[in-house]
Amino acid sequence: MVIAILAILAALLLPALSAAKARALTIACTSNLKQFGVAFHLYAGDHEDLVLPNKDGPYVPLGETWVQGWEGFPGPDCTNTLYLQQSLIGSYVSDVAIWRCPATRDPKVVGVTQPRVRTVSLNGFLGPPWSAPGATTYRRLAEITRPGPAETLTFLDERIDTINDGSFSEQRDFEPANPGGWMLRDKPSILHQRGGDFAYADGHAGVHHWRDGRTLTAPRNDAPMPGNLDVLWLQQHSTGHEQ
């Protein structure tokens, strides 16, 4: 009888404990992203208001982009914490543990665990070497006016099984009025109650919860997402679009 009662109590307590653990991990992740948001401002303050350089692609040298390393497939970059320490914000973010969402788990491919030391990426419209027709790219902090600093994403957590470089890439030829052509390129985290953690250009950080189930199950490669309001939200909070 006592064992049965204990089993019932355990069954009642486990969901509450699980929810409490999830909340704690979300709070920790938000705190981590906020530190990156502060580092974003410190870098600009030390470099005449310049935004961090942010070049996408494999094997981009430090100086051309804010953090070196390609995690797109198993290799030494995936576990190289020296790249994090030597990054352009390494002097502002001293703890390498905060480069990875505490809620994430290393992915497995054909049964083999493949560690990753980083899940953090920088909004691809901040500091890129390219320009996109119809969209705004930002190279100085003062240029972040549309959307405003409280609405513009800086750093975010990517899905650990899809992350590659340090730039969060989105569709460059995005047309708000053409939902049939919307696409989800890099994949945001989904670990916080169907949402991801984000830092914003005014320094605050928080979770955004996804509304479309396709966002939660998106494949690794570029994925057509016609009418997906999550794609629209990401675009609206990453860059200013011509009307």
Q: Give the tens place of pLDDT for each residue, 171-192.
A: 999 999 999 999 999 999 999 9
Q: Note whether residue 67 is domain-resident.
A: yes
Closest CA to 136 of 180, 229, 202, 145: 145
Q: Note whether residue 242 is domain-resident.
A: no
Q: Give the tens place of pLDDT for each residue, 46-99.
A: 999 999 999 999 989 999 999 999 998 888 999 999 999 999 999 999 899 999
Which pairing describes strands 183-184 and 223-224: parallel, antiparallel, or unpaired? Answer: antiparallel
Q: Number of structural domains, the chain?
A: 1
Residue 96 vs residue 23, higher pLDDT: 96
pLDDT at 236 over 80: yes
Q: Note whether residue 243 is domain-resident.
A: no
Q: Note whether residue 55 is domain-resident.
A: yes
Q: Which two tokens stand for residue 7?
A: 């089993």
Q: Note whether residue 186 is domain-resident.
A: yes
Concatenated DSSP letters of 77-113: GGG-HHHHHTSTTTTT---GGGGS-TT----EETTEE
CB 77 within 8 A of CB 61: no
Using CA atoms, how far apart are residues 217 and 44, in angstroms rounded to an integer?
Answer: 36
The parent domain of residue 90 ranges over 2-236
pLDDT at position 14, please?
A: 52
CB-count exposure of residue 242 (10 Å: 0-12, 13-18, 19+) = exposed
Q: Which of 77-86, 103-112, 172-181, 206-215 shows the lowest mean pLDDT across its residues?
A: 103-112
Q: Note whether residue 241 is domain-resident.
A: no
